[in-house]
Amino acid sequence: MSLLATPFYDGNTGSFSYVLVEPDSGTCAVIDPVLDFCSDSGRTGTTQADRIVEFVKANELIVEWLLETHVHADHLSATPYLKTRFVCAQSGIGAGVREVRSLIDPDAPDPERRFDRLFEDGDRIGLGHACGRVIATPGHTPACVSYRFEDLVFVGDALFQPDFGSGRCDFPGGDAAMLYQSVQKLLSLPERTRLFTGHDYGPCGRPVSYLSTVAEQRRANVHFGNGAGEDCFVKMRAARDADLAPPALLVPAVSYNLAGEAGLAAVGG
């Protein structure tokens, strides 16, 4: 039976998390789970993550993986919390997290202590009877990876919906030329490949959405469609990033995602 992906949307940060189910074995992977965070009180919460816990319980699933597409700058990750709920699950993130740590917080714990696996490009990920592959897609951050399982690919912030384009490249270690090359890898996949994005904000009042195909992105992505070239993309991205405000949760998110509760305490969370 085919793999099934269920989205969970966090309206506070515009983030999508996913539960990817391999139905024959009843196993699943949780991708980019969100931990609630109140800026005023500095407190975390688990309302969003508990929606995933309830889904897993209701469907009697076994969580094999807790996967991060990158070190998020706009929300706190619920992977540490879900590790306490699903103790047999393995956590994973791209090996580029080492570079993110060295650039942002060299005193943070080694990523090997926070994650069970640090993935390199091409690594395989077993999920029940299915086998996924890691596609390194750096550019938004050095740690960005996409996860491909059959014709489903979870692209994080490398690609947004076609009318919104791509992720910003102005965080430490971000690189627009690198993102351009990463996206070419995604756009070279078979045209029916389904792409699941990490964010959507419902631009111009349209309903939020999470799913596109490679064919749709090739044709209509406002940053990459119709064969837009690398130089053009890099210039566009630099101009656009210069106008973007920092994410509201930048400091607590990056601190927590690299160093956990200690990181949050260090920034007064």
- Rule CB under 5 A: which residues touch Fe ion? 72, 157
How far apart are CB 26 and Fe ion at their closest, in Å? 31
CB of 1 to Fe ion, least distance (A): 32
Q: Which is nearer to Fe ion, 72 or 101 (CB)?
A: 72
The candidate with the shortest Cα–Cα distance to 209, out of 7, 4, 59, is 7
Cα diameter, the chain: 49
Closest approach of Fe ion to the CB of residue 171, in Å:
8
For 243, the token pair is: 């106008």
CA 258 to mean position of chain CA atoms:
15
Output the smallest distance, CB 166 to Fe ion, in A.
Answer: 11
Minimum CB distance to Fe ion, residue 197 (Å): 11
Q: Write out the DSSP string of 177-188.
A: HHHHHHHHHHHT
What are the structure tokens assigned to 137, written together? 């897609």
Strand order in the sheet with 152-156: 124-127, 130-136, 145-149, 152-156, 194-197, 211-213
CA dihedral 162, 15, 19, 72 (to 10 degrees): 110
Q: Report the nearest approach of Fe ion to the CB of residue 35 (Å).
A: 15
**Backbone phi and psi for residue 77, each to the nearest 5 degrees, phi listed first:** -85, 140
| Beta carbon nearer to Fe ion, 30 or 249 | 249
Select 28 or 159, whichever has its Cβ closest to Fe ion. 159
Specify the residue, 86 or 171, whose C-beta has the smaller distance to Fe ion: 171
How many Cβ atoms from other residues are within 10 Å of residue 131's Cβ?
13
Q: Which is nearer to Fe ion, 114 or 199 (CB)?
A: 199
Q: Are strands 27-31 and 15-22 parallel, antiparallel or unpaired?
A: antiparallel
Pick the closer one to Fe ion by CB: 53 or 114: 114
Here the tokens at position 63 are 């969580």
Residue at shortest CB range from Fe ion: 157
